[in-house]
A and B are shown apart, each in its own frame.
Chain A
Amino acid sequence: MSEAATLEAVTIDSEGDFSYPEEYAHDAGVGLSEETIDYISNVKGEADWIREFRKKALKTFESKPNPTHWASKDLDNIKFENIRYYLSKGQKPTRSWDEVPDDVKQTFERLGIPEKERKFLAGVEAQFDSEAAYSNIKVELEKDGVIFVNSTEGLREHPELFRKWFGKVIPTGDNKYSALNSAVFSGGSFIYVPPGVKVTHPLQAYFRINAENFGQFERTLIIVDEGAEVTYMEGCTAPKFETATLHSAVVELVAMDNAKIQYITVQNWSNNVFNLVTKRGIAHENAEIRWIDCNIGSRLTMKYPGVIMKGRKARGEVISIALANDGQHQDTGAKMVHAADETTSNVVSKSISVGQGRSTYRGLVHIPKHLKGCKNNTECDALLINSNSRTDTYPAISVRGNQHATQHEASVSQVSEDQIFYMQQRGLSEAEAMSLSVNGFVNDLVREFPMEYSVELKRLIDLEMEGSVG
C-alpha cells in the first residue's frame, strides 16, 4: 500500500484513537469452536500438548457460567459468537523497526514506542492484534542469558522452561476468562532472567488492538530465577470502535528465592473494551512481587492482581490506580495469599470516579491459622468527582490465628463543585482543575513509580479529564 493511501484510510480522533485498514494473512473468522483452536494451532505450528491444552480449556470455558452473580451483569453483553479470536499479518517479529510492516510501524511510532525504547528501555515487544510485530532486547542482556520473546516463540524455543510454570500459577479453570485465554491465547511475553542477573532498565511490551470485533488474548509468563531482578511494563490501547472489543489476558509471574519482579501496567483502553484480565505471581523465599496497576478507560475492567507468598519472608504488593469516567466501570482489587511464615503483603488502591463512572474495590487477604508472623496492610481510597459517581469497597480479609498483624483503612472523599470553582477562579480550566485534584489524590503513589511512567500517567489523566468535560 502506498504511504498516501495508508494515511488517508486512517481515522483520527484523539491520541490512541486511530486505526489502519484491516489486511490480515491469517484470520480465524468469527466465533469460537474447536476449529478456531485448530486454526490457531496450525498457524503457529504448535506441539500437540499445547493443542490439547487449548481444547481442554475451551471445554472449561464453555462449562463455566459468567460470574454475573457477583460481578457486573454487563458481562452478559459480551457476544462470544461475534468475536474474532485470531488475526495476524503472518509477520514474524523482527528486531528492526525498518522491517515492521508500514501501518504497524506507523501505529507504534504514533504511540511513541520506538522513541521510548531509545530513551530508557532494555527491551521492547510490540504486539499488533494477535501477534508481535517487533521484539528486541539489548545485546548485553541477551549475553547474560535473559530471554525476552513473545509467547509463541517462548513455547517453541524454550518448552522445558515454559511448560514447567505455564498454567501453574493461574490454572485454566481459575475463572471463565482465564479458561478463555488458555483456549485461544496468542502473543504476550515470555521472560526468563537467570540467577543473579539484575535487569536495570525496564522491559516493555505494548499491546495494540487495531481490528474491530476482535479479542486480544495475550499470555505472559515471567520467570525470574534466584536473586535476579526485573521490571516489566505493559501498555495497551485500542481505537474507539462502535462494537465491543474483548481483551482477556493471563499473566503469570514466578519469583524464585530472593528474586524481585516489578510489573507495571499503564493502560488506556477506549470506552468499548471489556478488559478481563487474570494476573498472579508466586513469590518464593524472601522474594518480592510488586504489581503497579493503572487502569484508565475501558467499558468494564475486572482485574485483581495477586501474589501467592509461598516461601518464608516473601513479600507481595499491589499498588493500583483506577479511573472510571462516564460509562466506565473499574472493578479492581488485589488478592494476597499468605502461604508461609513471616510473609508480608501491602495493598494500596486508589480509585477515582467521574460523572457516572463507577469504581469497585475487591480485596482478598488470606492468612491461614497455622502460620506465624504474617503482616498485611490494606488501604483503599476513593475519590468522587461529582455526586453521581459510585464507589463500592468489598474487602475480604480472612485472617486466622492471632500471630499476625493486619491493618485496614478505607476512605472516600469528594472533589466538590466549590473546590473546582476555587481552582477555576485562579484561572485553571475545569479539566485542569479536575486533573490537578486527581493527580493530587494519586500523588503519593505515583511518586513511587519510575519517572517515565509517572509522567505518562499524568498525561493520560489530563487527557481523560479533558474528555470528561466535553
Chain B
Amino acid sequence: MSESLKIDDLKATVEGHEIIKGLSLTVPKGEVHAIMGPNGSGKSTLAKILAGHEDYEVTGGSVTMDGDDLLEMDVDDRSRAGFFLAFQYPLEIPGVSNANFLRAARQARLPKGEEIDAVAFYKEMYAKMDELGMDRKFTGRSVNEGFSGGEKKRNEILQMMMLDPRYAVLDETDSGLDIDALKVVAKGVNAMRSPERGFLVITHYQRLLDYIVPDVVHVLFDGRIVKTGDKDLALKLEAEGYDWVKDEVLASA
C-alpha cells in the first residue's frame, strides 16, 4: 500500500457556515503538493482542520495519514504521530523560551520516564538554526514574542526541522518573507524533502514555488479543489490570476 496523506470528500463548517465543501486530495509520501487559491477560499481552514482545531466541525468525509484516521486523534497525538503545521500566523508564547519550547516538544515524543539528551539537543538545534540563518539569541527569547513576520516563519521551519514530521503543511510560509529569507526557508524545506516525507505547501503566490518546486499543484476555490496540474498551473495562475478558474467553475456549475 502506498503511503499518503489522504483527504477524501471532506466537508466542514465553522459556526454553521460550510467552508470546506467536499474536498479531496492525496499527498503521497515523498511528494510536494502545492495548494493555491484566492484569499478566503478555505486554505487555512483546511490546514487547521488537519491539525485538529476545535473551531471547525467536520461534517463529512475522511482524512487518513498512512492509513490511520487522523480526524479521530487529539491535536497533540496528531503531532506526535508525525503531522506538522507551519502556521500562517504563528502564536506568541510569553515567558517560554524557544529552546524550552522545542525541548518540551521533543520530550513529549519520548517514552515516559526517558529524559532528553540536553547536550545532543542543543547541538542539533544550533546546527539547524545555522542552516536557517537564525541568530543564537533566538534560543533564549520567548517563542515568537516580538519576532518580525519573517522571523516567525523561520521559527516555524526550525520547529519543523526539529520535529521531523512525516507530513508537513506549510500555510503561507512565504508571506512576510523578503526574497533572501524566502531562499533560506526554501533551502531548509528542500533539504527535508525525502521519500519518507510529504509536503502540502499552501501559498497565495507562485513565487515560493520557484524555490520549492512542487510535484503537483491544486487550486482551491470555494472549499473545493477545482483544478489539479503540474507546476505550470502555478505559472498560469500567476500570469492570468484566478478569474479564469472561477469562470470555469461557474460555467460547469
Tell me if chain B binds chain A. yes
Q: Which residues of A contact B (CB under 8 A)?
A: 413, 416-419, 421-430, 432, 436-437, 439-444
Given contacts A425-B85, A426-B105, are A440 and B53 in contact (CB under 8 A)? no
Given contacts A432-B104, A432-B108, A436-B104, are A427 and B94 in contact (CB under 8 A)? no
A436 to B51, CA, bound (A): 20
- The 7 nearest A-B residue pairs measured at CB: A440-B95, A440-B96, A427-B79, A424-B75, A422-B91, A426-B105, A427-B108
Residues of A near B124 (CB, < 8 A) are: none
Residues of A near B210 (CB, < 8 A) are: none
A3 to B76, CA, bound (A): 43
Distance in Å: Cβ of A435 to nearest Cβ of chain B: 9
Given contacts A422-B87, A440-B142, are A427 and B109 in contact (CB under 8 A)? yes
Mask: chain B, 77-101; 1 = CB below 8 Å from A; 0 = not: 0111000110100111111100011
Residues of A near B78 (CB, < 8 A) are: 425
A424 to B90, CA, bound (A): 13
Distance in Å: Cβ of B178 to nearest Cβ of chain A: 25
Distance in Å: Cβ of B48 to nearest Cβ of chain A: 8
Given contacts A425-B85, A426-B163, A428-B105, are A437 and B76 in contact (CB under 8 A)? no
A190 to B104, CA, bound (A): 43
Distance in Å: Cβ of B184 to nearest Cβ of chain A: 22
Please tell me if the beta carbons of A419 and B91 are within 8 angstroms of each other in the complex. Answer: yes
Residues of B near A422 (CB, < 8 A) are: 87, 90-91, 93
- Does more than half of chain A's interface fall in helix, strand or loop, or is it mixed? helix
In the complex, besides A413-B94, A422-B90, 4 extra interface pairs with C-beta distance below 8 angstroms are: A417-B54, A427-B80, A441-B94, A444-B95
Contact of B93 among A423, A427, A432, A444 (CB under 8 A): A423
Which B101-140 residues have a C-beta within 8 angstroms of A?
101, 104-105, 108-109
Contact of A419 among B53, B93, B108 (CB under 8 A): B93
Please tell me if the beta carbons of A424 and B76 are within 8 angstroms of each other in the complex. Answer: yes
Please tell me if the beta carbons of A443 and B95 are within 8 angstroms of each other in the complex. Answer: yes
Can you list 22 A-B contacts with CB-CB less than 8 angstroms, sorted by A residue number?
A: A416-B91, A419-B92, A421-B53, A424-B79, A425-B51, A425-B78, A425-B79, A425-B85, A426-B101, A426-B108, A427-B79, A427-B108, A427-B163, A428-B104, A429-B76, A432-B104, A436-B93, A436-B96, A436-B101, A437-B96, A439-B95, A439-B96
Residues of A near B51 (CB, < 8 A) are: 421, 425
Residues of B near A439 (CB, < 8 A) are: 95-96
Which residue in chain A gives the minimum CB-CB distance to B145?
A440
B173, CB-defined interface residue at 8 Å = no
Given contacts A424-B79, A427-B105, A427-B108, are A418 and B96 in contact (CB under 8 A)? no
Given contacts A427-B76, A430-B76, are A437 and B90 in contact (CB under 8 A)? no
A439 to B84, CA, bound (A): 25
Distance in Å: Cβ of B116 to nearest Cβ of chain A: 13
Please tell me if the beta carbons of B95 and A441 are within 8 angstroms of each other in the complex. Answer: yes
Residues of B near A417 (CB, < 8 A) are: 54
Which residue in chain B gives the minimum CB-CB distance to A436?
B96
Which has the most chain B C-beta neighbours within 10 Å: A427, A428, A436, A444?
Answer: A427
Distance in Å: Cβ of B49 to nearest Cβ of chain A: 12
